[in-house]
Amino acid sequence: MAVGGVSGNSGSGMNGLGASGATLAGNFDTFLSILTTQLRNQNPLDPLDTNQFTEQLVQFSGVEQQLKTNEFLQALMTSSQNSTNINAVSYIGKEVTANGDRSELINGKAAWAFTAEAQAADATITIKDANGNVVYSENGSLSSGPGQFVWDGVSSAGIQCPDGTYSITIDGKNLAGKDVTVSTKTVGIVTGVNLSGDEPVLTVGQNQIKLSDVSSVKVPD
């Protein structure tokens, strides 16, 4: 089932930083308590050594600085995460191209992007359903560089295939019969975003695509 809308919570990285800050704050309070108790109970005839006292004050200042740095980093991470999440949500309704070989057939249309490293005089396009069964194949030629293949969902037997997830492979050979590498990418409309992990995940049909895997985004035609 396709997941619509937005779901999730803050990332584990910020939770870890918060726990670190709580531990550091606890150590700071303990240090302060020990220092004040020591000053309160010192022997007036044998007061705390000046050098030792100065050293403790330096430690006191250092711990305080660590607390402030920790608070700053936590605020910075929160701001960065919020910015990333807002950016990911803006992808809903947009057409994205991302790493992968699976795309969704919706209302008789599925699309893939591809890149051929060289001209392929003999290319075979094979499309399989979610169970790995070949439903469509086509032979032809490909020019060097990027391109797009759009399938209308009609199988090689002339039957309209049901909507769902399909995968593509493209095998190419040049005029000398040597293999030509053809990489593929999935193309689809974003219907939701999952924000529960360390990185937003886009929902495209039944596919879950990491935001970092997206190579392009545009308003659909």
Read off the CATH number of the domain in which 169 is found.
2.60.40.4070
Q: How far apart are CA 186 and CA 118, in angstroms?
A: 21
pLDDT for 162 equals: 95
Average pLDDT on 114-124 reads 94
Residue 194 in domain = yes
How many C-beta atoms lie closer than 10 Å to residue 48's C-beta?
A: 14
Tell me if residue 84 falls in helix, strand or coil.
Answer: helix
pLDDT at 122 over 60: yes
Q: Do 75 and 182 fall into the same domain?
A: no
Among 89, 113, 141, residue at a domain's last position? 89
Q: How far apart are CA 36 and CA 130, in angstroms?
A: 69
pLDDT for 11 equals: 45
Domain containing 79: what range? 10-89
pLDDT digit string, tens, across residues 82-111: 666 677 888 888 999 998 899 999 889 999
Residue 4 in domain = no
CA 92 to chain centre: 15
Average pLDDT on 39-52 reads 63
pLDDT at 47 over 80: no
Q: Do 143 and 190 fall into the same domain?
A: yes
Residue 158 DSSP code: S
Average pLDDT on 131-135 reads 95
Number of domains comprising the chain: 2
What pLDDT band is residue 220 in, cutting at 50, 70 and 90?
A: confident
C-alpha closest to that of 131 among 157, 162, 99, 106: 162
Q: Tell me which of 136 and 197 has the higher pLDDT.
A: 136
Average pLDDT on 107-133 reads 94
CA 193 to chain centre: 11
Q: How far apart are CA 77 and CA 126, in angstroms?
A: 45
What pLDDT band is residue 12 in, cutting at 50, 70 and 90?
A: very low
Residue 125 in domain = yes
Q: Do 104 and 194 fall into the same domain?
A: yes
Angle of helix 50-89 relative to helix 12-40, nearest 10 degrees? 160
> In residues, how long is the chain?
221
Average pLDDT on 12-20 reads 49
Q: Do 200 and 162 fall into the same domain?
A: yes
pLDDT at 121 over 70: yes
pLDDT at 120 over 90: yes
pLDDT for 1 equals: 28
pLDDT digit string, tens, across residues 58-79: 666 666 677 677 666 666 565 5
Q: How far apart are CA 127 and CA 133, in angstroms?
A: 8
pLDDT digit string, tens, across residues 140-192: 999 999 999 999 999 999 999 999 999 999 999 999 999 999 999 999 999 89
Residue 141 in domain = yes
Q: Do 101 and 76 fall into the same domain?
A: no
